[in-house]
Amino acid sequence: MEIPFVVNARKDTGLFNSKVGIWLFLASEVTLFGGLFSGYLFLRLFADFPWPERTLPVLPGLINTFVLIGSSVTVVFAWAALKMREWRKFQIHMSITLACAALFMVLKGIEYNAKFHHQAVRLSGGSPVEDFAVIEGHVHKVKLEGDHLVHADKNDQEAFYANQLIFKAESVTFALKRPAHEAYLQMILDQAPEGVEITLADDYKVGGEVILEKGEPLSVEMMDQLEAAYLDAISKDTKIRTAFEKASWKWIRDEKGVTEQGTYVVEMDLWKERRKEDVKNYSPLMLRAPAEAEFAISAPFNLRLDPDDVPPGLRGDSQMTLRDDTVIKGQLLESPIVMAVDAIDFRHTAMRAEKEGIDPMKAIESSWVLTHQPKGHGVEHSENTLKKAWECHQAWLSFETERLEKKGRKPTDQDKYRINWDQMIAYQQLDFDPQKVRSASDDGTLYETHLFDLSGFAGANHDKHHFPEVEIPREKVGFESTFTPKWNTYYAIYFTITGLHGLHVIGGAIVLGYYLFFGRKMYESNPEWLANRVEVGGLFWHFVDLVWIFLFPILYLM
């Protein structure tokens, strides 16, 4: 059977089949992205923290906008070439379109990668308002020397990022009620130094029978065995209990009978007595397998735990509970976050101070960031560089305020309470000297917008610039994350929308690539049909461009 209107349009609608299809699909896409945009609007309007305004480096987004607009032009040219039966030109234009798609994804990858390696720490504690200062930067690599962290080379085999919890483990107890997370088990086994033995602390007995003997070394297989034995035992126990309960109900029915409504009739005391007897009778039969298995560690060793694996509420000085209920006993060592700081943000502290009716600047001045005595990898630094950076910022701010006042304007909260990475570089280049910053501000030589500075293409370049270092004690860390959806709702919606958009780019590129690489046969037999297909694929591609046209200003410029 021949399907009508695949090549030629229907007279009344002026459409061929696939065009109706793609427009319906695009309509559903509009609602999908519309929902996400409204989600963005909701999160932004009701945000209970200072929204990260104009926070992404503009250049990658700008180039990506050009790339997508360019590819929109080439895809429509590819369609025009087919209409004019110019296969060669079609190939060229379509290839450029695909190259643009690839470039877009590469740039997106660079941008995402920068976010995944960029750390943020929000502080906690402090007075008169809670110190919600945010420190942003790159976490250093360190290694352990005895019980102390020391600075390590990036490529050092033993080096790890200095945001881990260091815990001297003395014993570990696995919960058997739920399967132990094998990755955690493996992590403990991997980190145990050679010669250290992790062995079962006591015989594991089920109903008198020894399943595993004391001293058995920890392994994934033995945990499976323990879990299986435990599950088996509680299943048997449950069956015994159920059998007794059944018998009791039966006894009531037979002895006391059932009312017309089908309800058992029994005196409460009689029933309680019966149940008590039941418990007495079945108790000796129960296997009562222990719900946990403790392992002794022959010589305590330093275990590095990812903070994500130990929820903050389950951290203690002598005990850590992992997400799978595994309990590690021992002693928490000093586990600071050591990082190079490229930005400091006091906006949240200022916001909370204003709410309390306290002068924001006073609240900021009592922040740990400005008041702490710096330490670094065990070496005492004599000065607090962050405090000097803040003084430089004040010098710049006084200049900026005067300059804006002449125009009848005021500095924004971002100007006042945030030291951005380009400012940090500028201050650092002037040796963190407030006077130099002020005179450089007056001369207009302080810093440019860095919009087209390729060294900071996707954020601060830590290879090129040296940023002040800070060691944040664990107890001051309120919340820490890389710039992933976890950090705040802005990044959550940023990754959701751009991720979904990226998937659309990949999907569209696959379809257009199919026409380019496998379209020749159709071109020879029915070129108009191929042209229609390319038009429909192109419509989708334009839609992808259209979404980006909104995403770029909303996420990068607002």
Partner 1 sequence: MAGSIEEVKKAKKLYLFIGTLLFVFTVITVLVATVEWLDFGDHGFDGIDATIGLAIATFKASLVMLIFMHLNHEKGLIYFFYGLAIFMAAACMILIGWTKADPIRDGNWERADGFYNLEKPATKPEH
* Residue that the structure tokens 């209920």 belong to: 325
103 counts as binding partner 1 under rule CB under 8 A: no
4 counts as binding partner 1 under rule CB under 8 A: no
Task: Give the nearest distance from C-beta 51 to partner 1 in angstroms.
Answer: 10
In contact, 237 and 283? CB cutoff 8 Å: no
CA distances from 186 to 180, 218, 223, 306 (A): 10, 10, 11, 14
45 counts as binding partner 1 under rule CB under 8 A: yes
In contact, 266 and 252? CB cutoff 8 Å: yes
CA 170 – CA 152 distance, rounded (Å): 26
494 counts as binding partner 1 under rule CB under 8 A: no
105 counts as binding partner 1 under rule CB under 8 A: no
Q: Which is nearer to partner 1, 80 or 105 (CB)?
A: 80
Candidate list 4, 24, 182, 514; residue touching partner 1; CB under 8 A: 24
Candidate list 30, 220, 291, 506; residue touching partner 1; CB under 8 A: 30
89 counts as binding partner 1 under rule CB under 8 A: no
Stretch that binds partner 1, among 187-195, 273-281, 337-345, 544-552 (CB under 8 A): 544-552
Candidate list 2, 48, 267, 380; residue touching partner 1; CB under 8 A: 48
28 counts as binding partner 1 under rule CB under 8 A: yes
Candidate list 178, 214, 276, 410; residue touching partner 1; CB under 8 A: 410
454 counts as binding partner 1 under rule CB under 8 A: no
415 counts as binding partner 1 under rule CB under 8 A: yes
Stretch that binds partner 1, among 48-56, 360-368, 425-433, 490-498 (CB under 8 A): 48-56
Within 486-526, residue ranges assigned H as helices are 489-518, 520-525
Please work out, in degrees rounded to the nearest 5, the angle formed at the alpha carbon of residue 139 by the alpha carbons of 133 and 141: 150
452 counts as binding partner 1 under rule CB under 8 A: no
Q: Chain-centre distance of CA 62, in angstroms?
A: 25
**Window 59-78: residues binding partner 1 (CB under 8 A):** 62, 65-66, 69-70, 72-73, 76-77
385 counts as binding partner 1 under rule CB under 8 A: no
Within 46-134, residue ranges assigned H as helices are 58-83, 87-116
Q: Which is nearer to partner 1, 154 or 355 (CB)?
A: 355
List the structure tokens of 473: 């004690």
In contact, 86 and 549? CB cutoff 8 Å: no
The residue count for binding partner 1 (CB under 8 A) is 65
Q: Which is nearer to partner 1, 207 or 553 (CB)?
A: 553
Please work out, in degrees rounded to the nearest 5, the angle formed at the alpha carbon of residue 309 by the alpha carbons of 303 and 315: 75
Q: Chain-centre distance of CA 293, in angstroms?
A: 33
Stretch that binds partner 1, among 16-24, 178-186, 198-206, 376-384 (CB under 8 A): 16-24
526 counts as binding partner 1 under rule CB under 8 A: no
CA distances from 107 to 52, 60, 103, 485 (A): 21, 6, 6, 19
Where b means 16+ CB within 10 Å and e means fewer, 171-205 reads ebbbbbeeebbeebbebbeeebeeeeebebbeebb
Candidate list 4, 42, 106, 251; residue touching partner 1; CB under 8 A: 42
Report the SS3 class of residue 432.
coil
Residue 259, sorted as left (phi over 0), alpha (psi -120 to 50) or beta, turns out to be: beta
List residues near partner 1 by CB under 8 A.
9, 13-15, 19-20, 23-24, 26-31, 33-35, 37-38, 41-42, 45-46, 48, 53-54, 58, 62, 65-66, 69-70, 72-73, 76-77, 80, 83-84, 355, 404, 407, 409-412, 414-415, 449, 451, 531, 535, 538-539, 542-543, 545-546, 549-550, 552-554, 557-558
